[in-house]
Amino acid sequence: MTAKPAPEAPEESGPRGVAALAQERWARMAWSRIAEPETASVRDWIGRHGAVESMDRLLGGTLVPDGRYDQRVAALDIDQARHALDRLQVRVVIPGDEEWPLGLDQLACPPMCLYVRGSADLGIAEGSIAVVGSRAATAYGLRVAADLGEGLVQRGVTVVSGAAFGIDAAAHRGALAGGGPTIAVLARGLDRAYPQAHEGLLREIAAEGAVVSELPPGWAPYRQRFIARNRLIAAMSVGTVVVEAGLRSGSLNTAKEARKLVRHVAAVPGPVTSVQSAGCHKLLRETDATLVTDVAEVLDLMGRLGMDAVGPARAVATLESELGDRDRSVWSAVPVRVPADLGRLQELTALDSATLLSTLGRLSMLGIVERVGERWRKVPKSRW
């Protein structure tokens, strides 16, 4: 067995806590390149010794007597991996980071780390809602998913999904149309778009939110990794809405994970004559999933829970009652991360500049929109 040097704290300097966190980051990154997601023995070793020491022991050959990780340990090159991440504009987020989604810690096997590409801080996962469903969706399902995606973000709720064909993509697209943010959780490494055809969509998602994976770059999607990915979608959000699902759809697995994690599970009904609604009807008949027909009903069920978990000064649910129609349309037009100038907002709202400016002023006073130079963006929910 070829033991490589233990990953050492890189150039990050400062108080000891920072150095420790850096060491932890690289150890977890190393672990993510050694073990498949949901490997209980690795979780136990890290639980017993910590990520850094257990990685030391692995590299020293004293952790695994049967040498079953030898090949991956031999191939481990942390420096190269780090350069690859820089090149891919991917960052590594670990437990203890401020943006680590705390919901993930409730998993039986939390991810070692998350690889993240995107303008948004993963704090946007707080109070988020997952909208998932079949790849082979119907026009009806696509419409409902897009409406939910758009409606949720317009009410300040981040939309989490899996970027797959069909319902997932419609939910992301709806969220983008509503001004974002949205998070795509992939079942492969972030070196490539998956599915390939969604390269453009994933770029947009990264621009308005985040694309994440627990798999290192280069790792391909397999059945077991899709299943593992589904648990991240379920754990990261306060609840999962299944829009359309055949009886064997993977989204039923996401719903099952959500239920295990005591998250809310909702399903959208459809024609009983549609096989793409059969999985939703099964959920509604055989589990305690709640039937939902629109955004208001989703928020009725999950909105409060989300807010309770996040604990902001102002509940998103009340936004609706405080804002008039014009306020709301301007608020929807204001981007989440990259501020937009007056011209862009005029384009989006079709308001004259005086009306637009006074509305922006009102939204600033409410503390939900902020001015950055001559541009405007939404105030992150966590600062409301």
Are the CB atoms for 129 and 275 separated by under 8 Å?
no
> Least CB distance from residue 273 to a copy of itself, whole Å?
7
> Least CB distance from residue 146 to a copy of itself, whole Å?
12
Q: Which of 294, 322, 341, 347 binds a copy of itself (CB under 8 A)?
A: 294
Question: Which token pair is 130?
Answer: 């997952």
Task: Print the binding letters for residues 136-155 with a copy of itself: x by CB under 8 A, - otherwise.
Answer: ----x--xx-----------
66, burial (CB in 10 Å: exposed 0-12, middle 13-18, buried 19+): exposed
Neighbour count for residue 182 (Cβ, 10 Å): 31
> Least CB distance from residue 156 to a copy of itself, whole Å?
22
In single-letter form, the type of residue at position 154 comes to Q
Report 310-369 residues binding a copy of itself (CB under 8 A). none
Q: Which of 56, 297, 320, 370 binds a copy of itself (CB under 8 A)?
A: 297
> Least CB distance from residue 52 to a copy of itself, whole Å?
50
Neighbour count for residue 364 (Cβ, 10 Å): 14
Which span (176-184, 185-193, 223-231, 273-281) binds a copy of itself, by CB under 8 A?
273-281
Q: Which of 270, 279, 303, 306 binds a copy of itself (CB under 8 A)?
A: 270
> Least CB distance from residue 320 to a copy of itself, whole Å?
20
Which span (47-55, 90-98, 190-198, 282-290) binds a copy of itself, by CB under 8 A?
282-290
Q: Which of 153, 184, 278, 336 binds a copy of itself (CB under 8 A)?
A: 278
**Residue 284 binding a copy of itself, by CB under 8 A:** yes
> Least CB distance from residue 243 to a copy of itself, whole Å?
10
Q: Residues 94-111, buried b or exposed e (16+ Cβ, 10 A)?
A: bbebebbbebbeebebbb
Q: Round to whole Å and give the CA distance between 59 and 374.
A: 53
φ and ψ at residue 241, rounded to 5 degrees: -110, 120
> Least CB distance from residue 271 to a copy of itself, whole Å?
6
Q: Is the dihedral of CA 19, 25, 26, 28 positive or negative?
A: positive
Which span (14-22, 94-102, 231-239, 276-284) binds a copy of itself, by CB under 8 A?
276-284
φ and ψ at residue 266, rounded to 5 degrees: -130, 155
**Residue 134 binding a copy of itself, by CB under 8 A:** no
How many whole angstroms from its chain centre is CA 280?
A: 23
CB of 272 or CB of 354, closer to a copy of itself: 272
Q: Which of 262, 272, 313, 365 binds a copy of itself (CB under 8 A)?
A: 272
Q: Which of 3, 291, 342, 357 binds a copy of itself (CB under 8 A)?
A: 291
Q: Which of 16, 66, 285, 354 binds a copy of itself (CB under 8 A)?
A: 285
In single-letter form, the type of residue at position 377 comes to R
**Residue 293 binding a copy of itself, by CB under 8 A:** yes
Q: Round to whole Å and give the CA distance between 383 and 67.
A: 49
Are the CB atoms for 253 and 231 separated by under 8 Å?
no
Report 31-90 residues binding a copy of itself (CB under 8 A). none
The binding site for a copy of itself (CB under 8 A) comprises 140, 143-144, 268-273, 277-278, 281, 284-285, 290-291, 293-294, 297
